[in-house]
Structure 1
Amino acid sequence: MTPLPTVQTVIDALTANRHTALPEPTVDQLLIGDPGTPVTGIVTTFMPTLSVVQQARSLGANLVIGHEGLFFSHHERSEESPEGEIERMKRQQLEASDVAVFRLHDSIHRYCPDGITEGLVAKLGWSGYVREYRAESCLLDIPSASLREIATEIKTRLGLPYITISGHPEAVFSRVGLLAGYRGGGTLTIPLLESKEADLIVYGEGPEWETPEYVREAMRFGRHCGLIALGHAASEEPGMERLAEALSVLFPHIPVHYLQEEPSIRIL
């Protein structure tokens, strides 16, 4: 009988593929649990909520790999900062669940190509259109279509109730700059538009006063450009779903699942 991998064995496999150094400090860490625990099953997810952890336990999985943090901030609370009431209650329930939680954020973004971006490209059906993968973006040449048509196709592919756009809905685009997660700031997107490496930006999220405002003013000067904003979770969930597929190959003797939480933000 094949021995079960430990939590640390899985963590080592997850962090072995990165091609550049991690930031200091990194947010990748075991947030709950013991690294020596044998793993009976794995769940990957974008947001490791209490609900996801409880579902993991019901599936017989005792390791959850989440992309974002547990306690409502990108960085963990420092020892000098007081613990909030909701954080304390959540932590106590997680510790009682006997499910380990590892955050995989910095490493997967440093795979080559970026594991989150690659998952989004695949989910969109755009793998065959990639011109170039960069550290924080992917440049693609997709079949020409209107902004409305591209946005509608994206909604269908990702199963989204809505997305937001900037630009003329009937304008036709083919050169896409894709940026998953919180990479929609002007310092990353505007150079792609200025250089004409892309005429359509598709990103997760970013400040509304940067890229959207650039697109609006550029159009008034007769420049051809557009923007589609997916939402942070929607842009990164496909990468964690794809990770589950990769882990199934690495650890074929234990079940691996992908779980998706309900959206936390809705439109009335």
Structure 2
Amino acid sequence: MNITIQDIIQYLTAHVELPENTVDRLITGSSDQTVTGVFVTFMPTQHVIEHAVQRGANLIIAHESPFYNHHSHTDWLANDPVYETKKSLIDEAGISIYRCHDIIHRFQPDGITEGLIQALGWSSYVEQQLAEADILSFPEGRTAQAIAHHVKSSLGIDYVRVAGNAEIVCRRAAVLVGFRGNGHVTIPLIQNEQLDLIIAGEGFEWETPEYIRDAVQQGKSKALIMMGHAESEASGMKLLADRLAERFPELSVRFIGEKPVYTVI
């Protein structure tokens, strides 16, 4: 039996209640298309789309929008040469792109956080799963610097950014994926959960990092590790690809990663 894009969308949304203003939708293509192959990715970059075309996959399930803004608006990109080239490639190849952002964050537990925790090998350290973060307890304790090195090696990334005291021994930490690293989220967590360390994807640089700097100046042992937005969420999309491959064994389902968008010079 042919599997359509709508079949896969129904599987993804079967047990999830999406908000009225959800960004999750079929951005390009038609739900009636028969699926020839599936690429699952964090960001549907030019490279990912070209690779899908080469491999004969006509469905890309992406966590973020292909068009550089959260709501996938394109009116502001009219006549932009980068947008036009990318959109032409998508249309000419008949690629359907389905946005899976709100869905996976509403899995129980949050699918993006679960994927990251598994990739880091920290499932046994999870003490509590909150909507915005997983709270971890490291019984033996480890320094923030050692944790930073573990994150790099586990995720295969070249760098993370650290603020605060990298030498402190951390026993309690919070892991926050994506753009959850802002002060209004992290600062109450630090106090309410008595945390030594925040491990986040990204956030405004003048909020949580500055709070950590002031805390250290005051003699308080606190630290922050920023992984990067994509680096914190790609593992969750890989976990989704694994689950789709199990559910649809007759399809070719592949997770496609990207190189970090930044290089350190």
| Structure-1-length-normalised TM-score | 0.94
Identity %: 42
Partner of 1:256: 253
Contact 1:165/1:228, CA 8 A, preserved across alignment = yes
- Alignment RMSD: 1.4
Residues 66 and 102, structure 1, Cα contact 8 Å, conserved in 2: yes
Q: 1:129 aligns with which of 125, 129, 132?
A: 125
Gapped runs of 5+ residues in structure 1? none
SS state of the match for residue 102, structure 2? Answer: coil
Say how many residue pairs are matched.
Answer: 263
Contact 2:165 2:221 (C-alpha < 8 Å) held by counterparts: no
| Residue type of the alignment partner of 1:8 | Q
- How far residue 232 of structure 1 moved from its aligned partner, in angstroms, is 0.3
- 1:178-199 Cα offsets, whole Å, 9 max, x none, are 0000000011100111124422
Q: Deviations over 1:4-46 (max 9, x none)?
A: 210011011112232xx43332111111111011112111000
- 1:65, 1:203 → 2: CA distance? 24
Long gaps (5+) in structure 2: none
Deviation at 1:120, TM superposition (A): 0.4
Task: State the 4+ residue runs in structure 1 displaced beyond 3 angstroms.
Answer: none
Structural mapping, 1:1-268, within 5 Å? 3-18=1-16, 21-77=17-73, 81=76, 83-85=78-80, 86-142=82-138, 143-268=140-265
- SS of the aligned residue for 1:113 comes to coil
CA-to-aligned-CA distance 1:69-105 (integer Å, 9 cap, x gap): 01111112265x4624122221111111122111111
Aligned-partner residue type, residue 198 of structure 1: L
Question: What residue identity is the alignment partner of 1:38?
Answer: T
Alignment partners' CA distance in 1, 2:181 and 2:39: 28
Report the TM-score when normalising by structure 2: 0.95
Residues in 1 aligned to 2:69 and 2:188: alpha-carbon distance in whole angstroms = 29
> Alpha-carbon deviations, 1:88-128, whole Å to 9, x = none?
22111111112211111111111111110100000000011
